[in-house]
Chains A and B, each alone.
Chain A
Amino acid sequence: MLTLPHRPLRIAAAITLAAAIAALIALVLWAILAAATGSGSSASRIDIPHLLRMTSIQAGLTTVLSLAVGTALAWSLNRLRFPGRDLVVGLFASAIVTPGMVVAFGLLSIWGRNGWINQLSEALFGVSIGNPAFGLSGILFAHVILDGAFAARILLARLDAIPAARLKTGQSLGLTAWQRFAIIDWPTLRGTMPGLAAIIFLLAFTSFPIVLLLGGGPANQTLEVAIYAAVRQDFDLAGAVRLAATQIAVCSAVILAASAMGPIPTSLGTSAAPRWRDAAPARLLQALVLALCILGFALPLLSVLFDGLASGLGSLLARPAFWWAAASSLLIGAASAILTLVLAMLLAMGRGATADGPLRTLLGMPAYAYLAVPAIVLSLGFFLLVRQLGIAPATAAPFVVILANSLLALPFAMATLGPPLEAIARSRGKLIRSLGLSGWRQFAAVECPLLGRDIGVMLALAFCFSLGDLGVIALFGTQDFQTLPLMMFRALGSYRSNDASAIAAILLIGTIIAFVGLPRLVERIANAAR
């Protein structure tokens, strides 16, 4: 069919961009490889098989637990109707942008050695429960909080999109709660599971701040943390490169397997009206699941807010270094959000303008770049590249951090903008084409207003990712150039935990404001232009 508007410019721009990103990644990989062969294999303490085993176990457990929790939570949210439901759904949706450091910190303050639970338990029963927030259990806990909520949000969108006719049929047949799940819900969810599992596995496999904070030493490292330790602490570049190569190999294998199993839907759907309530016991279970999840998710965050605002905020605000770090964080966040928007828009528009299978795959590739080449590896590659070019890392640092953060946000940005752009092209392509609208008019009159909210969501995602980033800045930060997460990390390292908790609270508040506010703001702007 020739129903897609003819847009050679869009396609050409997207191809150029995809090629540029591919070239950049290739350059980064080349820099890593060159460093590896150049420095020879010196005596290194790194035990790759052990790391691989530990990381795989951790990521595997995270995946299974997160999918289980996510499914239970999505099921409960899909069934229950109560005041404030939208707020709760929004709370879980925010998991994707909540900085890992903040969650880890909140977990410590509740479940840690000096956390609320321990204090309570010692005051009441005189026993300590130890430190479940530390080590593997802590890592799993933090991952499941974030990734379980992420899974729930995506699965909920699938459940809410089940056609009303199917529900009516089921209801008139009098299906039990369990039959309803098995016959109506599960077939809908099943298709999403492999892709979702792959994403969660990768997120856990490459997890950085949570493992750094809660891992408690080499026993529970991820490859990502090991790379950081090799570069920053042991100056073992050859070891770091071997780790990076391993990491890339595993991640690429997982991505290939996942992309063979189908697409990963990430768009946020809207909830349908209530139609069909399950029997009382099932509803009780749903309420219980929901209550537990809200507690598990919200308590650590509330405690971060509480601790942070109660202690040390004043002295932190009085320090110029804080304001410099805050300004760097804001600038980097804003710049990388805008860069991400431009990159994702160009790629998604080019992709939406062609029906050619291989070309569409090609234009979708840049989105996967980051998943195969995660933050630390990308950052290490840039680090080596910059050194090789004879530029001082401090000079290049801001640009590298902005660029790397944009690449990291790109898959989520494309998953947000791609589907609505494609939907417009497919449903109104005939009309646009027969009216002979120019590309600019298509953009200004049709796409821009329809995408307003999605653009806002995308900007918020990219901004929050970059605001919470520790992986990229960890290698590039200096005494003069630091962001809030890096400052928080350093405060923790030097046992200034008051500063750390104050920064954590500020990061959390910034994330919430951006995540809630940006989509509304951009939507309003887009609507005003109509």
Chain B
Amino acid sequence: MLRVENLTFAHPGQATPYVFSFVADSGEITAISGVSGSGKSTLLDLLAGFLEPTGGTVALDGRDLLPLPPEARPVSLLLQSESLFDHLSAARNIALGLPSRTEKAQTLQRVADALAEVGLEGLGDQQAATLSGGQKQRVALARTLLRARPILLLDEPFSALDDETRSVIRDLVRTLTTRHGWHTILVSHHADDVEALANRRYVLESRRLSPSGETKK
């Protein structure tokens, strides 16, 4: 279980700090909604280690994550865009999720498996710049698979996609989260994303998170 308690932070010039508290379970999607500018991306930056909080705790199964630098945190990121390096092929992008010492044959095999798991068999050689928005998000998810980090942070990952692609990627996130036991934190201001996916919901308002709606399993 990911437990965040009184995680405190203020951007320069902000008089009242954000104070975040919430819990997220393994294999579940925890949705966080809130109006634009309410601080959703700030929360994800704190969890990923890009911002340093002034107080509070973040613990995964009792282990304190705050002392870890971003690269050492058990966290994968999926942003709205810029999750891939456009100049590399899909396969090279995915392979960046493996340690650099990984054997070539093993790398090829695992990349192919990951591509298959996200439904992109055979697209490995295509350059990332030429992939469609939905394909890019799948490639990024495939890399997340190889990294096998228990926390997945999603910042508006569906907002650049059309309705049909959206629901396909949504299903993929759902499946992968359950299958791999991820703690998935989804930030979105689309009510239907939240409706379709969330096991647990919070609303970010006045710099605080409050539980909303019922918890479904």
Contact = CB atoms under 8 A, between A and B. Distances in A.
B33 interface: no
Interface in B170-212: none
A180 interface: no
A1 B50 contact: yes
A433 B71 contact: yes
Given A2-B50, A6-B71, A430-B50, A435 B97 contact: yes
B82 A428 contact: yes
Contacts of A2: 49-52, 69-70
B107 to A, nearest CB: 13
A199 B89 CA distance: 41
A447 B142 CA distance: 23
Nearest to A446: B85
B103 to A, nearest CB: 16
Interface in B75-95: 75-77, 79, 82-83, 85, 87-89, 92
A431 B155 CA distance: 13
Interface in B121-153: 143, 147
A3 B76 CA distance: 14
Interface string A392-436: 000000000000000000000000000000000001101101111
B48 interface: yes
**A contact face: mostly helix, strand, loop, or mixed:** helix
B88 A445 contact: yes
Interface residues on A, range: 20 to 34
B72 interface: yes
Contacts of B73: 434
A430 B77 contact: yes
A441 B51 contact: no
**B contact face: mostly helix, strand, loop, or mixed:** loop
Given A2-B69, A427-B82, A434-B76, A445 B92 contact: yes
Contact of B69 (A6, A428, A435, A450): A6
B22 to A, nearest CB: 21
A3 B87 CA distance: 21
Nearest to B100: A441
B71 A435 contact: yes
Interface string B82-118: 1101011100100011001000000000000000000
26 contacts: A1-B45, A2-B50, A2-B52, A2-B70, A3-B50, A6-B69, A428-B85, A431-B85, A433-B50, A433-B69, A433-B71, A434-B75, A434-B76, A434-B77, A435-B96, A435-B97, A436-B71, A440-B100, A441-B96, A441-B100, A445-B92, A446-B87, A450-B87, A530-B87, A530-B89, A530-B92
Interface of B: 45, 48-52, 69-73, 75-77, 79, 82-83, 85, 87-89, 92, 96-97, 100, 143, 147
Given A3-B70, A430-B79, 16 more contacts: A1-B50, A2-B52, A3-B50, A6-B71, A431-B79, A431-B82, A434-B70, A435-B71, A435-B97, A438-B100, A440-B100, A441-B100, A446-B88, A449-B87, A449-B88, A530-B87
